[in-house]
Amino acid sequence: GKGGYDHYMLKEIFEQPEAIRNAIRGRIDKDRGTAILSGLGLSPRELVDFQRLLIVGCGTSLNAGLVGEYAVESFAAMLAEVEQAAEFRYRNPIVGSKDLVIAISQSGETADTLAAVREAIDKGALVAGLVNVVGSTIAREAGRGIYLHAGPEISVASTKAFTCQVSVLLLVALKLARGRRMSRDEGVKITREILGIPALVQQVLEKNDAIAKIANNFIKCEHMFYIGRGYMYPVALEGALKMKEISYIHAEAYNAAELKHGPIALLDGNMPVVALMNRGPGQEKTVGNVEECRARKAPVLGVITEGDEEAKVACDWTIEVPDCPHYIATIVCTVALQLFSYHVARLRGCSIDQPRNLAKSVTVE
Ligand code: M6R
């Protein structure tokens, strides 16, 4: 059942500290500052030999993949790409024996992702699944992979799967990096940060009431913008996807740097902007973009680092999140935005666990 919560979605949001603990359990070697991912079935030699990591998925799993791409590039300095699974399949993908393909899917049954797995296997790539549902088709066909251990996700809107996927992708990035360029000390530091994720998520969950109050200001909206840069760009995408899916508000995500290349024309007093402004690379630039939004009268909800007064004064409302590196903040800020969309949808009286036109797993193309 819903364990006392009004909706499965809220229950699953609150399960995240535990789900992430389960996803990373037994997969961290603290002393050597690396990850243990035996499900990948790759020898140390194979781990350094392949030249490119290709990540495929759809929807929320695709957004998680984007975080994975950034993390692999920045930790391991190796080539990583993420592709929408259907695109991958229909574009005569350049993929072969020098590639590791990771297919991300909560359900393990998504038709487009499964087709991409088959295609990649046909072309001779090493294929691994990052799947939640044990024994699902993608898990079986990939043959190797990492289970999320997030527990069953009932709500159509994916929440804990995303934060577990990102947690495990950080471990993948760490593993690849430690086999290549990353020092043990740096690895140890990152393992500590990853182990700290559940506690940080818990701190965000404690803001639930405050976030519910802020949500009251957004129930009449027809449109919204979400902006972020770097690691915060996939967070903007995921935040906007969740908002569209459960509240039926048209929410668009843009890289903050893209605003002035067109979309800023849409901004006025009726176009609220949700901005990922927490401390980290590119933050000042995003704050600058927020000032441009305010100059066009767009109301701004900023996700900011606790105690960051400078960012706070640039916003109409703020959700404060604990200070952490941006690759960890992808999870922390996403949880804040999950709660935000949940409360907006609840206040609008939407059918949260079963949004119109959607199914939990998309087994047709
Ligand atoms: O089961 P999968 O992870 O393969 O599902 C992929 C998407 O259909 C899924 O993430 C969808 O976007 C969610 N409803 C988003 O909340």
ipTM of the complex: 0.99
For residue 157, how far is its CA from the centre of ligand 1 (angstroms)? 7
* 133 Cα nearest atom in ligand 1: 1
What is the number of alpha carbons within 13 Å of residue 320 lying toward its C-beta?
9
For residue 86, how far is its CA from the centre of ligand 1 (angstroms)? 13
- The amino acid occupying position 43 is S
For residue 226, how far is its CA from the centre of ligand 1 (angstroms)? 20
* 358 Cα nearest atom in ligand 1: 14
Predicted confidence at residue 195, as pLDDT, reads: 98
pLDDT, averaged per 10 consecutive residues of the chain (365 residues), comes to 94 98 98 95 87 96 98 96 91 89 98 96 96 97 96 97 98 95 97 98 98 98 97 98 98 95 94 98 95 96 97 97 98 98 97 89 80
Does 137 contact ligand 1 (Cβ within 6 A)? no
Q: Which residue among 147, 158, 237 is best mutated to probe the pocket of ligand 1, counting the most ligand atoms within 8 A of its Cβ?
A: 158
For residue 194, how far is its CA from the centre of ligand 1 (angstroms)? 24
> Residues with Cβ < 8 Å from 356, sequence gap 6 or more?
248
Predicted confidence at residue 227, as pLDDT, reads: 97
Predicted confidence at residue 323, as pLDDT, reads: 98
pTM of the model: 0.97
Does 113 contact ligand 1 (Cβ within 6 A)? yes
Does 110 contact ligand 1 (Cβ within 6 A)? yes
Query: What does the alpha-carbon distance between residue 129 and residue 108 come to, in Å, rounded to a whole number?
Result: 8
> Which residues are annotated as catalytic?
360
Does 156 contact ligand 1 (Cβ within 6 A)? yes
Q: Cα 260 to the chain's mean position, in Å?
A: 25
Predicted confidence at residue 365, as pLDDT, reads: 77
Predicted confidence at residue 125, as pLDDT, reads: 95
Protein residue with least CA distance to atom 8, ligand 1: 59
For residue 183, how far is its CA from the centre of ligand 1 (angstroms)? 35
The answer to whether 116 touches 141, Cβ cutoff 8 Å, is no
Predicted confidence at residue 346, as pLDDT, reads: 98
For residue 8, how far is its CA from the centre of ligand 1 (angstroms)? 16
The answer to whether 52 touches 99, Cβ cutoff 8 Å, is yes
Does 308 contact ligand 1 (Cβ within 6 A)? no
Does 361 contact ligand 1 (Cβ within 6 A)? yes
The answer to whether 92 touches 118, Cβ cutoff 8 Å, is no
Q: Which residue among 160, 362, 363, 364 is best mutated to probe the pocket of ligand 1, counting the most ligand atoms within 8 A of its Cβ?
A: 362
Secondary structure (DSSP) of 130-167: EESSTT-HHHHHH-EEEE-------SSS--HHHHHHHH
